[in-house]
């Protein structure tokens, strides 16, 4: 007996979750193969991949992002490009992007798009920052020149909340026309026959869709189409103020106003009060988006909830996947996904008095 062997020195206490090695053992393959499956690489026998997949679910394996980025080197660099959105919209949007970027170990650069920048220069800025892909919330995603310049620079793009998805580009949207249609129908069901609309900005394609939904609902409800009941707006509170004044000054004013976003709806409520019209007793006002404004003011706004954070998160995820796939020479087809909206009933709408 030469004595007891020293206890093996472990450099650290064992960690929590299963690792790639555990999965490999269970699946009866090498860690390398597991890595290939995780990263969706081609050249893995279908049934091998299958076995690995089973082992992954069985063990509840989740890749360790730290190890991944240490070993992997290259990190996906995304840019979020925006112009004059409402602060509330942007912050919710950002939240979604940030959450996904951090979960996927990607870098997110947040850039305000300079007002009258030439599309080519914008593209140059992106490539100078070594950006791989760009998230485009509206109205930027509705600008063909920008889309064109960015795409030509080899950037992967996603349009978020556009009314006009481009075939070759990723897009995540909601059905704006259906949402506006549902809201208008809701108003008609409440007995309103003169329903005013405050339109969104003309440079955002979603605005036209919302208008279409409104028009269609009017027709379906057998309500006359009165062009004086439609006032222009640009999504700003200030434009909502002007539009509501116009509507309420009509010889025969509307009994309900559907504003194409919450900021304009809030403005309409303010104007109503100025005219000593209680909301919703004397005037119904509803919005769209369900941003913070909807629950800040009083009465709280009945509105369409647009899942902004989810849309941003999904857009980010799509871009990261597409970028990584591209690095492996495995181009992916453009994805066009539409998320669900919800009509949120709160306190600003009521039956026709």
Binding stretches for DNA (CB under 7 A): 6-15, 17, 19-21, 29-33, 35-36, 38-39, 42-45, 48-49, 61, 63-64, 67-68, 70-74
Question: Measured between alpha carbons, how far is 302 from 294 in angstroms, rounded to an integer?
Answer: 8
Contact (Cβ atoms closer than 8 angstroms) between residue 64 and residue 47: no
Cβ closest to its own copies, residue 87 vs residue 118: 87
CA distances from 121 to 136, 186, 207, 286 (A): 16, 46, 28, 40
Question: Measured between alpha carbons, how far is 181 from 189 in angstroms, rounded to an integer?
Answer: 12
Cβ closest to its own copies, residue 81 vs residue 88: 88
Question: Measured between alpha carbons, how far is 334 from 6 in angstroms, rounded to an integer?
Answer: 59
DSSP classification of residue 110: E
Contact (Cβ atoms closer than 8 angstroms) between residue 80 and residue 315: no
Question: Measured between alpha carbons, how far is 257 from 284 in angstroms, rounded to an integer?
Answer: 6
Q: Give the total of residues touching its own copies (CB under 8 A).
A: 37
Minimum distance from CB of 111 to DNA (Å)? 27
Question: Measured between alpha carbons, how far is 262 from 160 in angstroms, rounded to an integer?
Answer: 19
Residues in the chain: 353
Out of its own copies, DNA, none, what residue 274 binds, judged by CB under 5 to 8 A for its kind, is: its own copies
Within residues 274-333, the interface with its own copies by CB under 8 A covers 274, 276, 292-293, 295-298
The one among 29, 80, 195, 241 contacting its own copies by CB under 8 A: 241
232 binds its own copies (CB under 8 A): no
Out of DNA, its own copies, none, what residue 292 binds, judged by CB under 5 to 8 A for its kind, is: its own copies
Minimum distance from CB of 59 to DNA (Å)? 10
Cβ closest to DNA, residue 310 vs residue 321: 321
Stretch that binds its own copies, among 2-10, 34-42, 61-69, 167-175 (CB under 8 A): 61-69
189 binds its own copies (CB under 8 A): no
Question: Dihedral (C-alpha) 137, 320, 338, 37: value to the nearest 10 degrees?
Answer: 180
Out of DNA, its own copies, none, what residue 273 binds, judged by CB under 5 to 8 A for its kind, is: its own copies
Is residue 18 classed exposed, middle or buried when 0-12, 13-18 and 19+ CB atoms within 10 A define those classes? middle
Minimum distance from CB of 77 to DNA (Å)? 15
Q: Which residues of this chain interact with its own copies, rule CB under 8 A?
A: 12-13, 15, 64-67, 69-70, 73, 86-88, 91-92, 94-95, 98, 102, 237-238, 241, 263, 266-267, 269-271, 273-274, 276, 292-293, 295-298
């Amino acid at each position: 007996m030469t004595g007891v062997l020293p206890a093996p020195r472990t450099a650290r206490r064992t960690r929590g979750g299963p690792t790639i090695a555990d999965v490999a053992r269970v699946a009866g393959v090498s860690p390398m193969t597991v890595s290939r499956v995780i990263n969706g690489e081609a050249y893995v026998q279908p049934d091998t991949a299958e076995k690995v997949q089973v082992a992954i679910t069985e063990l509840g394996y989740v890749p360790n992002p730290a190890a991944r980025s240490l070993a992997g080197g290259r990190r996906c660099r995304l840019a979020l490009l925006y112009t004059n959105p409402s602060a509330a919209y942007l912050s919710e949007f950002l939240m979604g992007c940030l959450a996904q970027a951090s979960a996927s170990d990607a870098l997110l650069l947040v850039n305000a798009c300079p007002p009258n920048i030439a599309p080519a220069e914008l593209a140059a800025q992106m490539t100078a920052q070594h950006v791989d892909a760009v998230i485009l919330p509206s109205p930027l995603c509705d600008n063909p020149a920008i889309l064109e310049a960015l795409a030509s620079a080899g950037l992967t793009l996603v349009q978020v909340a556009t009314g006009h998805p481009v075939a070759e580009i990723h897009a995540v949207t909601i059905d704006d026309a259906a949402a506006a249609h549902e809201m208008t129908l809701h108003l008609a069901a409440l007995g309103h026959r003169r329903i005013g609309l405050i339109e969104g900005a003309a440079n955002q394609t979603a605005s036209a869709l919302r208008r279409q939904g409104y028009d269609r609902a009017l027709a379906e409800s057998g309500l006359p189409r009165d062009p004086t009941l439609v006032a222009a707006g640009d999504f700003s509170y200030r434009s909502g103020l002007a539009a509501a004044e116009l509507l309420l000054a009509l010889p025969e004013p509307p009994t309900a106003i559907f504003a194409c976003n919450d900021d304009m709806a809030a403005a309409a409520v303010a104007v109503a009060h100025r005219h000593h019209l209680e909301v919703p007793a004397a005037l119904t006002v509803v919005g769209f988006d369900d941003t913070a404004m909807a629950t800040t003011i009083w009465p709280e706004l009945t509105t369409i909830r647009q899942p902004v954070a989810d849309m941003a998160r999904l857009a980010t995820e799509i871009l990261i996947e597409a970028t990584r796939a591209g690095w492996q020479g495995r181009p992916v087809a453009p994805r066009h996904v539409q998320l669900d909206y919800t009509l949120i009933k709160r306190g600003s709408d009521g039956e026709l008095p």
